Structure 1
Amino acid sequence: MTHAGDVDAAHQGELVVVTGMTGAGRSTAAKELEDLGFYVVDNLPPSLLPDVVKLVDDGFGAAQGIAVVVDVRSGSFFHTLHANLAQGAIGRLTTLVFLDAADDVLVRRQEAARRPHPLQGSGRLLDGLQRERQVLADLRSDADLVIDTTSLNVHQLTDRIGEAFGSPVTMRLSVNIISFGFKYGIPVDADFVADMRFLPNPFWVPELRASTGRDVPVSDYVRAQKGAEEFLDGYVPVLAGVAEGYLREGKRFMRVAVGCTGGKHRSVAMSEEIGRRLAAEGLEVRVTHRDLGRE
């Protein structure tokens, strides 16, 4: 158990439960949460969650943030985590963070660390990962924040945790709009995916090819196409309505992926406009462009 100091005011009294796939970065997330002032407990049997909360309440006060890392090393205790959280018996605002990554990346990381998977037994490492995915399926679907670390390094994962739990933000929903190129793969941690390939591609307009969706001529071209404004007028209210529902259910993170072929023109322009409109609705919005400059 470690105690690193005072958490940000927006997260005082919060319980962060970190789980996910072996090799996806749980230790890195725990270290960052410790640096942010959370009282961190690694490899905690889920049945002991109420005891840890009481211990921290008595020793440091109810305002002290707590972060616990729970994984399949907890054995049979792990299966009680879902029920324990669902019962609401913890008595604190609880945020469930799930770390994931592609199987091939997890295999490489485990092989580099020269560690067997806790569930592989006498089989292959990949067999253990597949068993782990089955065990974690319900928790992943219920997670408040899913972070796909497939293409993240340690520093980028640290930044993602810091964005979620370190800055002095209000309890408004945090929305991340991410543009991407389908040819590079769909972001697996997205809550919503929108496909902009129904719009003409500025790539085929010679004077626009070298520009990006951040440039006014490209943005104007994309939004002037038939169906573009109709899509925005219909899609943004849907996202805003879902955001209200997320807040009512205690979820504070929403990740919206907007794709086109290469992630340079249409998805970028439409992501910027979606972000602008959601921000005008009072939501906390961050727009990122995953594949911009990748071609």
Structure 2
Amino acid sequence: MTERSAKRVLLVTGLSGAGKTTALKTMEDIGWETVDNFPFRLVESLLNTPPSSSRDDNDQPLALGFDSRTRGFEPDKLINSIKRLQKKPGYLISTLFLDCAGAELERRYAETRRRHPLALDRPAKDGIAHERTLLAPFRRWADHVIDTSDLTANDLQREIREHFSLDKDAATTITITSFGFSRGLPNNIDLLFDVRFLANPFWVPELKQKTGLDPEVAEYVSKDPAYAEAIEKIMDMLTFLLPRYQEAGKAYVNIGIGCTGGRHRSVHVAERLSKDLRSAGFSPNVLHRNLASPPMEALESMQKLNGNRGI
């Protein structure tokens, strides 16, 4: 069996409080099957279990978390067991050790008010020192070591994605949603832009029944004196933020573009931004939530009473 076809298994351990739970949750998010606190004595039985008939199930890599609390945890014996497992045909078995400075672990336990699992009736410092000694053979022997002393949870997630991503080229999914404020905000919007400052085509009789997808509406909106500068500034912000969202491992970014009714200005601006983002190398999806909604003069009129250019 080739290395490419062998099933990947990652054994994840480390100091309590160093981020094992965050690491395993991130690995689950990027496509690994994960099991925490798995009894190590059962690992060999698990690997001996025949794969399902589904090729996808067989190809999915497996991450198993264990630590000093795991039943039968004896580092030297476990290392010998892992060495034996690594000779097992059809598997690529490696280890990840999560380390952290003692002072930082003490701070984390103090902030969360949790007790260290090896110091339930003593200061956390004692449990940390004992566990570090207990796990020293694993740290020396591990294939991968990540020190989380200076890492936030987001930093650790990014490290895990960089080291263990199954698709190194996976891009953040970007969705631009046009909508009408008068019909409520969409759910799960990360970035929201209000374009009600632009001239409103609704009050032009020949444009009222048209939408932002019609060239006449697009031309009308784009003639607003503030339009070009607004598009430029929004694009500057998006091209600055989107790569950073991807670096942080954010799987989805939802951009909301809102006007009053969600049929004219927001639709055109969403289309224009999607075009500009594609030119900049992104691949956004576009949704027009209220495009099929009927024109509602009462709602537009309420906004017009504000006296701000018919917004």
Normalising to structure 2: TM-score of the pair? 0.48
DSSP 3-state at the match of 2:131: helix
Which blocks of at least 5 consecutive residues in structure 2 are unaligned?
169-311
Work out the CA distance in 2 between the residues paired with 1:11 and 1:164: 19
Q: Does the aligned pair in 2 maintain the 1:56–1:64 contact within 8 Å? A: no
1:86 alignment counterpart: 83
Aligned residue number for residue 16 of structure 1 = 10
User: 2:166 & 2:32 partners in 1: Cα distance?
Assistant: 13
Q: How many residues align structurally?
A: 162
**Runs of 4+ more than 6 Å apart:** 9-12
1:71 partner letter: D
How far apart in 1 are the matches of 2:153 and 2:133?
A: 26
* Alpha-carbon spacing, 1:136–1:59, altered in 2? closer, same or farther (3 Å): farther
What is the match of residue 130 of structure 2? 131
Alignment-derived partner of residue 34 in structure 2: 40
Deviations 1:112-150 (A, max 9, x none): 222211111432211111110111111100111110111
* Match of residue 118 from structure 2: 119
Give, in whole Å, the separation in 2 of the partners of 1:56 and 1:17: 20
Counterpart in the other structure of 2:292? none
Secondary structure of 2:145's counterpart equals: strand
CA radius of gyration, larger in: 2
- 2:92 and 2:156 mapped to 1: Cα distance? 23
Q: Which residue of 1 aligns with 2:258?
A: none
Q: Distance in 1 between the 2:25 and 2:109 partners?
A: 19
- 1:71 is matched with which residue? 67
Identity of aligned residues (%): 34
Q: CA deviation at 1:75?
A: 3.6
1:77 Cα deviation after fit: 3.4
CA-to-partner distance for each residue in 1:62-120, whole Å, 9 max, x for gaps? 32200010101114235442121121355411121000111011111122222211111
Give the AA of the match of 1:161: I
2:6/2:92 contact within 8 Å kept:
no
Whichever residue aligns with residue 101 of structure 1, its letter is C
Deviations 1:8-30 (A, max 9, x none): x9797100111000110000000
Supply the distance in 2 between the matched residues of 1:148 and 1:34 (Cα, whole angstroms).
21
Q: 2 CA distance for matches of 1:78 and 1:123? A: 22
CA distance in 2: counterparts of 1:145 and 1:108, whole angstroms: 25
- Cα–Cα, structure 1 residues 114 and 57, in superposed 2: closer, same or farther, change >3 Å? farther
The aligned amino acid for 1:87 is R
Equivalent residues of 1:16, 1:66 under 8 A apart:
yes
Counterparts of 2:22 and 2:115, CA distance in 1: 19
SS of the aligned residue for 2:114 comes to coil
Deviations along 1:227-272, whole A, 9 cap, x unmatched? Answer: xxxxxxxxxxxxxxxxxxxxxxxxxxxxxxxxxxxxxxxxxxxxxx
**Counterpart position of 1:104:** 103
CA contact (8 A) 1:10 1:168 kept: no
The whole-number CA distance in structure 2 between the counterparts of 1:55 and 1:158 is: 31
For the residues of structure 2 that align with 1:114 and 1:11, how far apart are their CA atoms? Answer: 45
Give the partner amino acid of 2:13: T
Q: 1:156/1:10 Cα in 2 relative to 1: closer, same or farther (>3 Å)?
A: farther
